[in-house]
Structure 1
Amino acid sequence: MTTEDTGHTVDRNDKLVILASSVGTVIEWYDFYLYGSLAAIITTQFFSGVNETTGYIFALLAFAAGFAVRPFGAIVFGRLGDLWGRKNTFLVTMLLMGLSTFVVGLLPSYAAIGVAAPVILVLMRLVQGLALGGEYGGAATYVAEHAPNGKRGFYTSFIQITATAGLMISLVVILGVRLSIGEEAFAAWGWRIPFLVSILMLGVSLWIRLKLAESPAFKKMKAEGKGSTTPLKDSFGKWPNLKLVILALFGLAAGQAVVWYTGQFYALLFLEKTLKVDGALTNTLVAVALLLATPFFVFWGWISDKIGRKPVILAGCLIAALTYFPLFHALTAAANPRLAAAAASAPVTVYADPADCSFQFDPIGKTTFSKSCDLAKSYLAKAGVAYANQAAPAGTVAQVRIGATTVESFRGDQLPAADFKAAKKTWETGLGDHLKAAGYPAKADSALVNKPLTVAILFALVFYVTMVYGPIAAALVEMFPTNIRYTSMSLPYHIGNGWFGGFLPTTAFAMVAASGNIYHGLWYPIVIAVITAVVGFLFIKEGKDVDIHT
């Protein structure tokens, strides 16, 4: 059944619905992304018992753990939302999110309580992930079921702003604390402040949400006795609906997710960890780009009411896939021009016997990587220097070729432990001097960062995000019936965003570390975005004119 625009205008009650749903979701995203924004500091505070590289990977994995459990949160809270109501369910999820974030702000470091610190940290991340898995579906469904026909894209687009707003607010709060107390104090204890102040925002959002009534579509369904008593079985145990769930995942949510995380989170990590831009400056540049792009979430939601959700989302996926490589190359030139110039004039190649190269991920942080190839790649990875790999004959001692200069590594695995430590320090100092002589900077010079161009590139990346994310809530809500809507739309959304998107930083980082190419990780979002564009074009039906109240 299709309907036309009812001519309904946004009244006071509609504004309260949008405000309450959006404010609560902003705070949940703020809580969730504090961790990601502070990954480098989290590494030193909670994973100091392992080496630096392993610690950072562990920090990313702990961040990803929150994403890993989001689909399970979608199942648990989606079922409750279809049985118990939209409003009550997302009150519970918000409370869980806020309290777990507050606990992280109070959690002692690894130095204080040992291995218990990272264990509790990961536990809190899991609670956050479960809560967020239930929050988004509830808020999106609640707003969509209040929206008049013909304006669902516009109404739900305000929910879509919340993720960006939460990230932006987290960056602003972090930056404000950093500037107020200084980098040294922030790294020591000031990083806890953004986690702790979230309890105040939690109180405000709970107060606002308690003023809401239940969704009219849910009340109508209950009054007519049409509710599902087995929403999980009806959503995933019956092929017609399960097929829609699978299509929603691969034809909409997966591509949207990787575009979102590339534009808003991977770009931040790329600036700070790969290009070595100062953390405070990185936060500022990303926050400005987010602020400029945020209105386009509403714009694309409104446009999707006119031309459909499908063309907007799929166009965003395809354009992003086609332009990521040139945009990230341009970002390197704008944010760290000395690094770009050095890479062009003196490219680095690791010439080594492949059998001499290990996969340098140490789960317990106690392994010493002392082969000649491992020594070379480990140093280059820490220095943020891109390199190519070239196979050498068996038994060859690895070499690092910097333009026309060759620096030979050494066989640390053949030295006593004490001698190895001294030899490694001497060798790394020498390699660092050669890299410096070739123009490779230890970190980006803030004075040389082309700030307007960097913001413009970041804006383009976030603009793609607004295209794919602005209409996604309306698109997913329209695919499923009222009695199983919360459950059915939550799972593909959170598998897409929790797994395909949430594991993007870790996956891309591993791809870069293995290849030596700082852009190699972009293949992950590009491939997923193209798959979504193809599947969505062939199999997703446009739903902008569907009456979701029938």
Structure 2
Amino acid sequence: MSTSASSDPTAPSFEPSDAVSAKSLRKSVVAGSIGVLVHWFDWAVYAYMAGTIAVVFFPESNRTAGLLAAFAVFAVSFFVRPIGAVIFGRLGDRLGRKTTLSIVIIAMAAATLVLGLLPGYETIGMLAPVLLIVTRVVQGLAAGGEFGSAAAFLGEFSPRKRRGFGCSWLEFGSLLGFLLASFAVFLLNVAFPNDVIVAWAWRIPFLFTAVLGVIGLYIRLKIEDTPDFEQLKELQAVSHAPVKEVFQRNRREFLQTCGIEIFMNVTFYVVLVYLLTYQEETIGFDAGRAALLSTLASALGLIVVPLAGIASDRLGRKPVLMFAAIAQTVLAVPLFLLMQVGSEWAVFVSTFGLAFLLAIVLGTHAVTVVELFPTRTRQTGLSIAYAVTAALFAGTAPYLLTWLIDLTGNALVPGWFLLVVGLVGVITVWTLPETRGISLIKEQDLNTATVRLPRVRVARS
């Protein structure tokens, strides 16, 4: 069980983030969440427009091959994320959260801008898909550093009593990016005929993403680094080898974070990405209605995510996450069984049930893993765990589920899959300490300090 150092008469009750003004806190929330919004907007636009991108950047001789190539390029950005996580995690723990937040959003905006301006296959031949791959690699590297940077930043800027609420805006940004992307693609298809979209209009959403990135960069350049990281610098306790330190001194925290992120990432991709295809191909639901349901599910998440963050501040991280994990384990198969009924009400209820459980996890996972690590290695640990689990488990989930349904002929496979993921969540949450209200400057930070300062609050286990 974790307790603060208030029982220690030599440690006054002070936490750096408690001194943050309301104005600075609002600015930090926007700065932390806007990069996630930009990333997921770009990600979703590429996914929604994969068919158009296949026509523009690959030879037209084989339509299916072109579409597969477009999705393969999409997958590349997943597999380079762990590299970006190592690069930006290390930078963030050595140079500060503000530095990596700024670099990451510059890389995202630049890569997206280049993609929006790239000539197609008809103009420059095979150089077009090569350059497309380069833009997605840069985007993937930047995405590998975004979660860890933003989560550490929001966690360290939020007051202890509202840290769950502060961190929940990270996933609010991701859901809002999804919604904006679907709306942008919808407007594109309403405003232009297909031949105009293929000719040039497909570029508009990507250029808009670049504009969002510039706005995000402006906001991030106006912020200060987190009080906790500044405190670490004053203590001269900044890690010079955070990657090595994570695997030497924080292996348990790293594995726990991997478990939480498998739970979150796989559920996220099944509910918000794969479910749309499943309802069309397996349930036989109308494509337009399936898309509308997906949009409404994301909108529900925008309401529930901050509420889940608030609940974790009042009840604790473990109770909220454990509720979601047990509920998913128990309800995943019944909800997919209900979906088999095929009627509108059944699909609606099952989709919203899954989206509700996902939103609880989204609103709580970031603050939970932020509080596990010491400040010295927080960004590195979060970045690598998130990126590796996303690449290995989340990015492959839609393909694995499609293959398993085809192999077994069992339409309930996604339900059983989510049941297993829920069990991973239950087991992982069971091993966690309750971290609500702890100091983010921990003993591991102070034990390496070369300068001793008063007014530091220590979290002891």
Is this a same-fold pair by TM over 0.5? yes
| Matched residue, 1:548 | 440
Write the distance in 1 (CA, Å) between the matches of 2:204 and 2:348: 27
Question: Contact 2:58–2:121 at 8 Å: present in 1 too?
Answer: yes
Write the distance in 1 (CA, Å) between the matches of 2:312 and 2:104: 29
Write the distance in 2 (CA, Å) between the matches of 1:5 and 1:465: 35
| Matched residue, 2:10 | none
| Matched residue, 1:268 | 276
Code of the aligned partner of 1:540: L
Question: Contact 1:504–1:525 at 8 Å: present in 2 too?
Answer: no
Establish whether residue 501 from structure 1 lines up as the match of residue 394 from structure 2: yes
| Matched residue, 1:395 | none
State the 1:287 CA deviation.
Answer: 1.7
- Equivalent residue of 2:236, what SS? coil
**What is the TM-score normalised by the length of structure 2?**
0.84
Establish whether residue 255 from structure 1 lines up as the match of residue 266 from structure 2: no
**CA gap 1:318/1:69 in 2 versus in 1, 3 angstroms:** farther
Task: Note the alpha carbon deviations across 1:509-537, whole angstroms, 9 max, x for none.
Answer: 23234444454355444323322322332
- Equivalent residue of 1:294, what SS? helix
**CA gap 1:102/1:172 in 2 versus in 1, 3 angstroms:** same
**CA gap 1:520/1:107 in 2 versus in 1, 3 angstroms:** farther
Question: Contact 1:61–1:506 at 8 Å: present in 2 too?
Answer: no
State the 1:174 CA deviation.
Answer: 0.7
State the 1:469 CA deviation.
Answer: 1.4
Runs (4+) off by over 6 Å: 3-10
- Equivalent residue of 1:483, what SS? coil
Establish whether residue 178 from structure 1 lines up as the match of residue 189 from structure 2: yes
Code of the aligned partner of 1:520: V
Write the distance in 1 (CA, Å) between the matches of 2:205 and 2:287: 16
| Matched residue, 2:109 | 98
Code of the aligned partner of 2:114: V
Question: Contact 2:267–2:421 at 8 Å: present in 1 too?
Answer: no
Establish whether residue 308 from structure 1 lines up as the match of residue 316 from structure 2: yes
Question: Contact 1:256–1:529 at 8 Å: present in 2 too?
Answer: no
Write the distance in 1 (CA, Å) between the matches of 2:30 and 2:411: 41
Question: Contact 2:20–2:157 at 8 Å: present in 1 too?
Answer: no
Write the distance in 2 (CA, Å) between the matches of 1:8 and 1:224: 18
| Matched residue, 2:362 | 469
**CA gap 1:456/1:119 in 2 versus in 1, 3 angstroms:** farther
Question: Contact 1:172–1:283 at 8 Å: present in 2 too?
Answer: no
Give the alignment of 1:17-56 within 5 angstroms.
17-47=28-58, 55-56=66-67
- Equivalent residue of 1:543, what SS? coil
Question: Contact 2:283–2:339 at 8 Å: present in 1 too?
Answer: no
| Matched residue, 1:154 | 165
**CA gap 1:116/1:459 in 2 versus in 1, 3 angstroms:** farther
State the 1:499 CA deviation.
Answer: 2.4
| Matched residue, 1:435 | none
State the 1:304 CA deviation.
Answer: 0.8
- Equivalent residue of 2:250, what SS? helix
Write the distance in 2 (CA, Å) between the matches of 1:32 and 1:163: 10
| Matched residue, 1:71 | 82
Question: Contact 2:308–2:359 at 8 Å: present in 1 too?
Answer: yes
**CA gap 1:273/1:188 in 2 versus in 1, 3 angstroms:** farther
Question: Contact 1:259–1:317 at 8 Å: present in 2 too?
Answer: no
Give the alignment of 1:17-416 within 5 angstroms.
17-47=28-58, 55-110=66-121, 112-183=123-194, 185-186=196-197, 189-236=200-247, 238=248, 240-250=249-259, 252-272=260-280, 274=282, 281-331=289-339, 333-334=341-342
State the 1:153 CA deviation.
Answer: 0.5
State the 1:91 CA deviation.
Answer: 0.7
**CA gap 1:23/1:117 in 2 versus in 1, 3 angstroms:** same
Code of the aligned partner of 1:475: T
Task: Note the alpha carbon deviations across 1:417-437, whole angstroms, 9 max, x for none.
Answer: xxxxxxxxxxxxxxxxxxxxx
Write the distance in 1 (CA, Å) between the matches of 2:276 and 2:403: 17
Write the distance in 2 (CA, Å) between the matches of 1:479 and 1:513: 40
State the 1:463 CA deviation.
Answer: 1.2
State the 1:457 CA deviation.
Answer: 3.5
Question: Contact 1:504–1:524 at 8 Å: present in 2 too?
Answer: no
| Matched residue, 1:535 | 428
Question: Contact 1:175–1:280 at 8 Å: present in 2 too?
Answer: no
**CA gap 1:485/1:313 in 2 versus in 1, 3 angstroms:** same
Write the distance in 2 (CA, Å) between the matches of 1:8 and 1:460: 39
Question: Contact 1:512–1:518 at 8 Å: present in 2 too?
Answer: yes
| Matched residue, 1:484 | 377
**CA gap 1:521/1:453 in 2 versus in 1, 3 angstroms:** closer
State the 1:315 CA deviation.
Answer: 2.7
| Matched residue, 2:403 | 510
Task: Note the alpha carbon deviations across 1:280-304, whole angstroms, 9 max, x for none.
Answer: 5544332222113311101111111
**CA gap 1:220/1:292 in 2 versus in 1, 3 angstroms:** same
Write the distance in 1 (CA, Å) between the matches of 2:407 and 2:62: 18
State the 1:332 CA deviation.
Answer: 5.5
| Matched residue, 1:520 | 413
Larger deviation, residues 53-62 vs 16-25: 53-62
Aligned residues: 431
**CA gap 1:126/1:332 in 2 versus in 1, 3 angstroms:** farther
Write the distance in 2 (CA, Å) between the matches of 1:325 and 1:534: 19
**CA gap 1:99/1:150 in 2 versus in 1, 3 angstroms:** same
**CA gap 1:510/1:48 in 2 versus in 1, 3 angstroms:** farther
Write the distance in 2 (CA, Å) between the matches of 1:106 and 1:219: 40
- Equivalent residue of 2:377, what SS? helix
Code of the aligned partner of 1:130: L
Question: Contact 1:46–1:110 at 8 Å: present in 2 too?
Answer: yes
Write the distance in 2 (CA, Å) between the matches of 1:276 and 1:40: 21
Structure 1 stretches lacking a partner, 5+ long: 338-449
Question: Contact 1:231–1:487 at 8 Å: present in 2 too?
Answer: yes
Task: Note the alpha carbon deviations across 1:211-251, whole angstroms, 9 max, x for none.
Answer: 10111111111011111111111112x1x41222112212x
Write the distance in 2 (CA, Å) between the matches of 1:211 and 1:60: 37
Structure 2 stretches lacking a partner, 5+ long: 7-12, 443-461
Write the distance in 2 (CA, Å) between the matches of 1:140 and 1:245: 15
Larger deviation, residues 189-198 vs 14-23: 189-198
- Equivalent residue of 1:533, what SS? helix
Larger deviation, residues 46-55 vs 477-486: 46-55
Write the distance in 2 (CA, Å) between the matches of 1:333 and 1:52: 34
CA RMSD, 1 decimal: 2.8
